[in-house]
């Protein structure tokens, strides 16, 4: 199966070069790499042009007006891709050399639309323990995807046909677009998982988009609400989403009340109550 790699980037040239190097060090090279630059203010073109000249595979570079949304950049990238499979890599993450070979083999052997792999999380150059959770990571993982993002973008290999079916990532979301995409993918396809750690997930730095607000749960609430409003769901799927949405809204409301934001707290308590009641009605 042919494979394209899409890398969104913005003003992080040293990190981008490291990410690109990890792609070029793969035991299974992709057919092409597509770098989508979110209108960087630093001049990253010359180093990429130099790298293009020495790359063993086609390296395409496209700059677009700044939007600040990884979802939009990934969508722009996979729309240009020629591969039957598309792998995504954030510019601040690093693949281990066996990553693509294992996931391509998994797609060739199994009827799956998306695969992901185990991560090693790094903070300040040191490995840190991942949050514990008994999440199902392969097969029908719909229920597990609702609670938190268990499929990181840089771990994904996705069939292009599935990306077309789902219309890619939700560009209305600034953050948690990977969480929302994982849920929608789990609704309509079987998920594959490689247990062997295949990626260094670099986190905790000031340039991380998720560090902009210091929280992510509110964006997950918006993602779940979008799925309820826009996605065709079975009664069971709708009930489960509303149960989790009620829990997240209640948690957010409690945090708002603790900080004295009572109007916001009341709004999310009402949303929690409404979703809990709707879920109960379908039970």
* Mean pLDDT to the nearest integer, 192-219: 77
pLDDT per residue as tens digits for the range 90-122: 999 999 999 999 999 999 999 999 999 999 988
- Dihedrals φ, ψ of 114, to 5°? -150, 140
pLDDT of residue 226: 96
pTM score, two decimals?
0.92
Instruction: Count the alpha carbons within 13 Å of 138 in the hemisphere toward its beta carbon.
Output: 14
pLDDT single digits (tens) 133-161:
668 899 999 999 999 999 999 999 999 99
Residue 119 near residue 130, CB atoms below 8 Å: yes
For 282, left (φ over 0), alpha (ψ -120 to 50), or beta? Answer: alpha
């Amino acid at each position: 199966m042919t494979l394209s790699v899409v890398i969104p980037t913005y003003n992080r040239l040293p990190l981008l070069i490291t990410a690109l190097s990890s792609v070029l060090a793969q035991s299974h090279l992709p057919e092409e790499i597509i770098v989508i630059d979110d209108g960087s203010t630093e001049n990253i073109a010359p180093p990429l042009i130099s790298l293009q000249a020495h790359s063993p595979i086609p390296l395409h570079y496209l700059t677009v007006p700044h939007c600040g949304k990884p979802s939009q950049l990934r969508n722009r990238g996979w729309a240009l891709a020629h591969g039957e499979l598309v792998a995504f890599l954030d510019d601040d993450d690093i693949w281990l050399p066996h990553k693509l070979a294992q996931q391509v083999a998994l797609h060739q052997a199994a009827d799956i639309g998306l695969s992901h792999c185990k991560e090693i999380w790094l903070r300040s150059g040191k490995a840190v323990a991942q949050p514990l959770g008994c999440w199902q990571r392969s097969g029908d993982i719909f229920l597990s995807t609702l609670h938190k993002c268990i499929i990181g973008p840089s771990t994904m290999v996705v069939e292009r046909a599935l990306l077309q079916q789902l219309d890619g990532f939700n560009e209305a979301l600034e953050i948690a677009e990977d969480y929302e995409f994982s849920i929608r993918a789990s609704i309509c396809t079987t998920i594959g998982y490689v247990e062997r750690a295949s990626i260094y997930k670099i986190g905790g730095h000031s340039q991380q988009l998720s560090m902009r607000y210091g929280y992510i749960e509110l964006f997950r609430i918006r993602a779940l609400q979008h799925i309820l409003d826009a996605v065709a769901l079975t009664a069971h799927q709708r009930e489960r989403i509303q149960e989790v949405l009620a829990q997240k809204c209640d948690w957010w409301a409690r945090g708002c009340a603790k900080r004295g934001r009572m109007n916001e707290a009341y709004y999310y308590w009402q949303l929690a109550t409404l979703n809990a009641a709707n879920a109960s009605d379908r039970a």
